[in-house]
């Protein structure tokens, strides 16, 4: 292991001062073209790599950002965080990942640590950024970007999936297929992400001049069980329904199970769209379920990208939306789905 060349070495060999070497290598300040060329050539010959630790120390830029998650190992946080750290890695930025685990005490402890590391910025991942926002006191003034599925004050820097747009797209897809009695089986009330999908769906139905089947969205839970029950309720009602937008894939599959049991064909009789693309990564010839992929990895990437922009001073507050990707599957475009297909 040979000792690495320092900038002084480069300067000495190139016959210039350390000051000039620094300027030439960093491309700042006035240096004659020939001097610059000579220094750069020398640096390459010596395989000079600037010591980032020294640079960080003197500039105060650590090239490290914090990633603060409510629950880093959660099903939704994970791809988002990975998208972010992967992007940051490509940009040669390190991350320190901290799981707040809900308690403000831990959060405060973590913020102290991050301050000691002089992080360049902070990415907050989770659905309740307001809480984190509160704790981010004045004396910890680094750029903060929120990656979240819920809406937040317009004064923050936020990146989130466009749940509203997805709801709208779902309605439009079903309408475009010629369906006329479209229901919406959603989950819990007061989940911002779910609410936004309801909104978008409702808006699209209204502008198509089409009432929502079953008299409006049916609220329940996130479970497959609720989808099965909702299916029964729809069939019992006797009301015409030929398409359903479900709040997630579990509900969609529950609906399908009930319909199949009753001999109702999907999509022939009733088309179904889910949400989450839960079966992503399972290799199969075709997608059984029409659904939306929230592209959480992309959300993470965009959030990281934006954080670097804020750090660089070239960004203004507001929400950036990432469009969920519609996955066209057999539950809307056929052929008729069999249970084995969805396994």
Partner DNA sequence: CTGAAAGCGCTTACAG
Instruction: Kindly list the residues in this chain that would bind DNA in the complex (CB under 7 A).
Output: 6-8, 16-20, 22-23, 25-26, 28-32, 35-36, 48, 50-51, 54-55, 57-59
Angstrom distance (rounded) from CA 256 to CA 105: 45
- Report the residue from 222, 232, 264, 265 that binds a copy of itself according to the rule CB under 8 A: 222
The set of residues, in sequence order, having a beta carbon less than 8 Å from that of 28 and lying 6+ positions away, is: none
Identify which of residues 4 and 75 has a Cβ nearer to DNA in the complex.
4
CB atoms near residue 176 (< 10 Å): 10
Identify which of residues 7 and 246 has a Cβ nearer to DNA in the complex.
7
**Contact (Cβ atoms closer than 8 angstroms) between residue 325 and residue 293:** yes
**Contact (Cβ atoms closer than 8 angstroms) between residue 33 and residue 48:** no
Binding positions for a copy of itself, 61-90, rule CB under 8 A: 62-64, 67, 72-73, 75, 78-79, 81-83, 85-86, 88-90
Identify which of residues 180 and 278 has a Cβ nearer to a copy of itself in the complex.
278
Peptide bond into 267 cis (omega under 30): yes
- Report the residue from 181, 225, 233, 325 that binds a copy of itself according to the rule CB under 8 A: 225
Q: Does 281 sit near a copy of itself (CB under 8 A)?
A: yes
Task: Name which of a copy of itself, DNA, none residue 103 binds, using a CB cut-off of 5 to 8 Å depending on partner kind.
Answer: none
Identify which of residues 209 and 313 has a Cβ nearer to DNA in the complex.
313
Q: Is 141 exposed, middle or buried (0-12, 13-18, 19+ CB in 10 A)?
A: exposed
* Options 34-42, 92-100, 154-162, 305-313: segment touching a copy of itself (CB under 8 A): 92-100
Q: CB of 78: closest distance to a copy of itself in angstroms?
A: 5
Angstrom distance (rounded) from CA 275 to CA 76: 13
Q: Could you please report the per-residue DSSP string of 226-277?
A: HHHHHHHHHHHH-----EEEESSHHHHHHHHHHHHHTT--TTTT-EEE-SS-
CB atoms near residue 112 (< 10 Å): 11
Residues near a copy of itself (CB under 8 A) are 1-2, 4, 49-54, 56-57, 60, 62-64, 67, 72-73, 75, 78-79, 81-83, 85-86, 88-90, 92-99, 112-113, 115-118, 138-139, 141, 222-225, 250, 253-254, 256-257, 260-261, 278, 281-285, 297, 339-340, 342-343
């Amino acid at each position: 292991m040979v000792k690495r060349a320092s900038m002084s070495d480069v300067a000495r060999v190139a016959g210039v001062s350390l000051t000039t070497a620094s300027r030439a290598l960093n491309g700042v300040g006035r240096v004659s073209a020939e001097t610059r060329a000579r220094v750069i050539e020398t640096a390459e010959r010596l395989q000079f790599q600037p010591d980032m630790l020294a640079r960080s120390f003197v500039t105060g830029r650590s090239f490290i950002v914090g990633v603060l998650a409510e629950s880093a190992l959660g099903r939704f946080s994970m791809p988002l965080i990975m998208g972010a750290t992967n992007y940051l890695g490509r940009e040669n930025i390190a991350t320190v990942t901290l799981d707040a685990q809900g308690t403000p005490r831990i959060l405060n402890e973590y913020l102290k640590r991050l301050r000691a590391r002089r992080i360049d910025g902070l990415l907050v991942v989770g659905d309740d950024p307001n809480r984190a926002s509160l704790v981010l006191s004045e004396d910890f003034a680094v750029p903060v970007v929120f990656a979240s599925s819920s809406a937040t004050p317009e004064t923050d820097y936020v990146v989130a999936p466009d749940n509203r747009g997805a709801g709208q797209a779902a309605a439009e897809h079903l309408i475009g297929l010629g369906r006329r009695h479209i229901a919406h089986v959603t989950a819990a009330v007061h989940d911002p992400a779910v609410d936004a999908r309801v909104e978008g769906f409702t808006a699209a139905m209204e502008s198509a001049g089409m009432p929502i089947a079953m008299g409006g969205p049916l609220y329940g839970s996130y479970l497959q069980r609720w989808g099965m029950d909702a299916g029964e309720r729809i069939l019992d009602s006797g009301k015409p329904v030929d398409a359903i937008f479900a709040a997630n894939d579990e509900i969609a599959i529950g609906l399908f199970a009930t319909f199949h049991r009753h001999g109702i064909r999907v999509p022939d009789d009733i088309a179904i769209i889910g949400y989450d693309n839960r079966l992503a990564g399972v290799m199969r010839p075709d997608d059984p379920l029409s659904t939306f992929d929230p592209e959480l990895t992309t959300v993470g990437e965009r959030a990281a990208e934006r954080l670097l922009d804020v750090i660089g001073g070239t960004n203004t507050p507001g929400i950036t939306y990432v469009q969920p990707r519609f996955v066209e599957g057999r539950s809307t475009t056929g052929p008729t789905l069999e249970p084995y297909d969805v396994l």
